[in-house]
Amino acid sequence: MTFDDLGLSPELLRAIGDVGYTKPTPIQSQAIPIVLMGRDVLGCAQTGTGKTASFTLPMIEILAAGRAKARMPRSLILEPTRELAAQVAENFELYGKYHKLNMALLIGGESFTDQEKRLDRGVDVLIATPGRLIDLFERGKILMSDVRTLVIDEADRMLDMGFIPDVERIVSLLPKIRQTLFFSATMPPEIRRLADAFLMNPKEITVAPPASPATTVTQGIAIVDEREKREALRRLIGTEQIKNALIFCNRKRDVDILHKSLTRHGFSAAALHGDLSQSMRTETLEKFKRDEITLLVASDVAARGLDIIALSHVFNFDVPIHAEDYVHRIGRTGRAGREGRAFTLATPSDGKFVEAINALIGKEIPRIEIEGMDSLEFEEGDDRRRRGRRSSQKKAATSEKPKRRSEKAAKDDALPAAPAEDAATAAPEKRTRRQPARDKATSDRSPKQEAKQQEAKQQEAKQRETKQRDRRGRRTEDDNDTPVLAFGDHMPNFLRRSVRAYLPERKAADARKTA
């Protein structure tokens, strides 16, 4: 099937040709004719399948006839994040270049005044995040009574982010007679219920997620010590010809740590995660797209669906926990037939995650060695405490070791400690292990004697506890309770005692006495 078979106008076909697409993706070939017929669609598809064009292309076609009135948008697209909303807007500009449609992007973190001005001019397509749309509605700046097409995109993400009540409220403000296009990567029961409530006799279209990365992406995985990951990454970057690269971390905190570390080592790097302000995120992305920044360290959420043309590299600083995220991440490179390179840094304990990825993509990610660094093996079984076996005994440069250790310690703060490494839980465990030995020593006594002994012990423990409370006025760490972190409202006695000032005259007199 080609785009010509889908019922799109010559202007749209020209715009598609300009972008360089040669044939529609499965979701496009199935959804476009249905949307053009005016039917509701329930699409089970995720980013990477070409779903954005599957609704933007027919919407442009539908909206081409007619004009918008001030503050009364004719169509509405709801997106869970500002980045996704901005990306859909870019798609409209790209595909709608031979049409004269007005578009407005209503996202948080940007000026209300500019957005209100746009609404006043009349918009054909309104792309919004739920919170900002409700804000503007409540200020009386927007009327929903003319919306004839509604798109709810990434519904499962809206659910994850707690936006469903906002979405329900928005839908209740729209005309009952409308066309609704509803997309979700997954269909849990809550999403099904919403779809049933919002859609009328929809055509259900399910497309498989892109389970295999593009064949144009060269992949590789290195197994290194957790403490040497930053160095491994720097060495890898040094051996690759990088134009621009996305570096994924599993946690926001690690995005910041890695970004700072790369900058300190002289790399052109920036960070992108959900805790940054919208203006900061937009500015960073723009700089990255303009090639003013080479390395963008990002979290999955912030980078989900990011569409950067001609990205040369993707690095997984952490192995993703969900195998599908691996395909999403490395799918940022090698787009539209271009060459791309994607490398993953794993630690010996990541074996089961890598296995799941291999199973999903149907092949093993090839192993790579990083020059001058120990190459390790995955641990067998689930025991996270076991260290990996070294497959080569090349000694890594040691000059940076102490620094790396302290960085590791900082990182460990962010990690949930493995049970056995947690001192607070290890201590009681030790005590219970020693207990049987003591019990054995007393087992020769008669039951009566033992009961007496037990009673005496309990009494002793009680007294000890009362003494400690009396002495300190509160429980202490010795009581095996929460550690005392500060004095709080308790004034210790040594601070109540008056202290004579040690004046210079007294100091001189003391010195004379001792001379």
DSSP label at residue 379: P
Least spacing, CB of residue 25 vs ligand AMP, in Å? 5
- Residue 365 and residue 360: Cα distance in Å, rounded? 11
- Residue 320 and residue 477: Cα distance in Å, rounded? 39
- Residue 75 and residue 186: Cα distance in Å, rounded? 24
Least spacing, CB of residue 251 vs ligand AMP, in Å? 24
Least spacing, CB of residue 53 vs ligand AMP, in Å? 5
CB closer to ligand AMP, 119 vs 246: 246
CB closer to ligand AMP, 29 vs 179: 29
DSSP label at residue 371: T
Residues whose CB is less than 8 angstroms from the CB of residue 250 and which lie 6 or more positions away in sequence, other chains included: 299, 300, 318, 320, 321
SS3 419: helix
Least spacing, CB of residue 333 vs ligand AMP, in Å? 11
DSSP label at residue 219: E
CB closer to ligand AMP, 94 vs 143: 94
CB closer to ligand AMP, 30 vs 49: 49
Looking at 372-503, list the stretches that DSSP marks H as alpha helix, in order from N- to C-terminal side: 401-414, 423-442, 447-472, 493-496
Least spacing, CB of residue 49 vs ligand AMP, in Å? 5
Least spacing, CB of residue 23 vs ligand AMP, in Å? 6
Least spacing, CB of residue 88 vs ligand AMP, in Å? 9
Contact 303, 332 (CB under 8 A): yes
CB closer to ligand AMP, 19 vs 451: 19
CB closer to ligand AMP, 209 vs 351: 209
Least spacing, CB of residue 113 vs ligand AMP, in Å? 31
| Amino acid, res. 346 | A
Contact 262, 295 (CB under 8 A): yes
CB closer to ligand AMP, 21 vs 98: 21
Contact 148, 100 (CB under 8 A): no
CB closer to ligand AMP, 25 vs 129: 25
Distances, alpha carbon 322 to alpha carbons 212, 214, 216, in Å:
14, 19, 23
CA 200 to chain CA centroid, Å, is 34
Tokens of 390: 């070294």
Please give the residue ranges that form the binding site for ligand AMP (CB under 6 A): 21, 24-25, 28, 47-53, 305, 307, 335-336
